[in-house]
Amino acid sequence: MTDINQIAWDDTVLPFQLDRSGVRGRVARLDGVLEHILSRHDYPAPVAALVAEVALLAALIGPTVKLRWKLSLQVRGKGAIRTIAADYFAPAAEGEPARVRAWASFDADRLDDRPPFDQIGEGYFAVLIDQGAGSLPYQGITPLASGSLSACAGTYFAQSEQLPTSFALAYGENRLPGDGAARWRAGGVMLQTLPAQPVAVGEAGGSGEGGLIEAADILQGAESEDWNRANHLLSTVEEIELIGPTVAPTDLLLRLFHEETPRVFDPQRVEFGCSCSADRVRGTLAIYSAKDIAHMTTAEGRVTADCQFCGAHYDFDPRTLGFEATMDADGNPIEVAE
């Protein structure tokens, strides 16, 4: 039997504010969304863990941005795990769910027993915000030097937005009592201070490693005390409380922050979603010449492409592709103007 509490909070993001501390945050739970993402690929355990983490981060960070279209998190490294990426698509209209997708690329022969984050190697963590047609995408980058993807996300917010931000995340395969199959679940809490006046940083930079800005460089006095107290309370959370499913996010907030006067807002539903389509693939290939398309054509005379996120397979007639195409998508000859 599925607990009614689980049904209510699966695949949701719950915004909240701690009125006493002036700290805002979100509680996220991913169940079916994460299972859907990971079921599309046969990832080894360390890769699956990082995909779960980046998908959870996208679900937590996406709603904090005044987003019209898409927020992307991208991790690039020189180690065995080369790329981890997730996209958060804002709801198309009020009352509709947000959408999340994620994937990773890796070299299976180089994977070992080290912690997953250590197998990314030297690289960077990037946040990209695309507000859609007519706008220029924004990109912020921070080095991979913090020990986890969530710590890298916190560093990004401190550096780029001067907003102290912290995370408590948990993810893994979970088997409920009476349920025969283990399922991937993830849950997390994000804390963030309210925007304040920008802080001037000297030539030496912040107090963090390599001159990175940290919370202590931004917050002073009572604000610093409030932030430290909220994070101390968050540090007492247990993994099973984060993942659920038997502990509701509202109960979790009361358990952790009852003295901080937590106030919750309407939850946001999340579902798996991919923006790939045959037309988008055609658009990507539109920059290539007929000669380039010929190099992509298989021995069977087709051009194929697979979506890295959802696994969708696309199969094209090469004559319909590229800027020198001789046929349209329906197979009709294209008339060339004299």
Assign 3-class secondary structure to 101-128.
Answer: EEEEEECHHHCCCCCHHHHCCCEEEEEE
Quote the pLDDT of residue 24. Answer: 94
Quote the pLDDT of residue 105. Answer: 95
Q: Where are the beta strands (DSSP E) in the chain?
A: 12-18, 23-30, 70-77, 81-89, 98-106, 123-130, 138-143, 165-174, 183-193, 262-264, 268-272, 303-306, 313-316
What is the spatial distance between Cα 245 and Cα 139, in angstroms, rounded to a whole number? Answer: 35
Same domain? For 285 and 246 the reply is: no
3-state secondary structure 32-95: HHHHHHHHCCCCCHHHHHHHHHHHHHHHHHHHHCCCCCEEEEEEEECCCEEEEEEEEECCCCCC
Quote the pLDDT of residue 200. Answer: 46
Decide: helix, strand or coil at residue 230: helix
Same domain? For 148 and 246 the reply is: yes
Quote the pLDDT of residue 209. Answer: 61
What is the spatial distance between Cα 210 and Cα 143, in angstroms, rounded to a whole number? Answer: 10
Dihedral sign from CA coordinates of 243, 62, 253, 237: positive
How much helix, strand and coil, in percent to the nearest 5, is found in the chain? 35, 30, 40
* Residue 318: CATH number of its domain: 3.90.1280
Which residue range(s) make up the domain with 334?
277-338
- pTM for the full model? 0.84
User: Where among 272, 288, 320 does a domain terminate?
Assistant: 272
Same domain? For 54 and 138 the reply is: yes
Same domain? For 219 and 108 the reply is: yes
User: Where among 253, 272, 291 does a domain terminate?
Assistant: 272
Same domain? For 296 and 319 the reply is: yes
Locus of tokens 């090469």: 318
Task: Per-residue pLDDT tens, the chain, 338 aa: give them.
Answer: 344 455 567 899 999 999 988 899 999 999 999 999 998 888 999 999 999 999 999 999 999 888 888 999 999 999 999 999 999 999 988 889 999 999 999 999 999 999 999 999 999 999 999 888 778 888 999 999 778 999 999 999 988 888 899 999 999 887 666 666 778 899 999 999 977 554 444 455 555 665 555 666 676 678 889 999 999 999 999 998 998 778 899 999 999 999 999 999 999 999 998 777 788 888 888 888 889 889 889 888 888 887 777 777 888 888 888 888 888 888 888 875 55
Same domain? For 49 and 186 the reply is: yes
Same domain? For 197 and 266 the reply is: yes
* Residue 137: CATH number of its domain: 3.55.30.10
- Output the CA–CA distances (angstroms, integers) from residue 200 to 153, 158, 162, 213, 214, in the order listed: 21, 13, 10, 11, 13
**CB neighbours of residue 46 within 10 Å:** 22
Same domain? For 38 and 175 the reply is: yes
User: Where among 255, 272, 289 does a domain terminate?
Assistant: 272
Question: 312 and 304 in contact (C-beta within 8 Å)?
Answer: no
Same domain? For 264 and 247 the reply is: yes
Quote the pLDDT of residue 337. Answer: 54
Strand partners, 70: 89, 130
Same domain? For 291 and 166 the reply is: no
Same domain? For 200 and 156 the reply is: yes
Quote the pLDDT of residue 1. Answer: 39
Same domain? For 211 and 312 the reply is: no
Give the total number of structural domains in the chain.
2
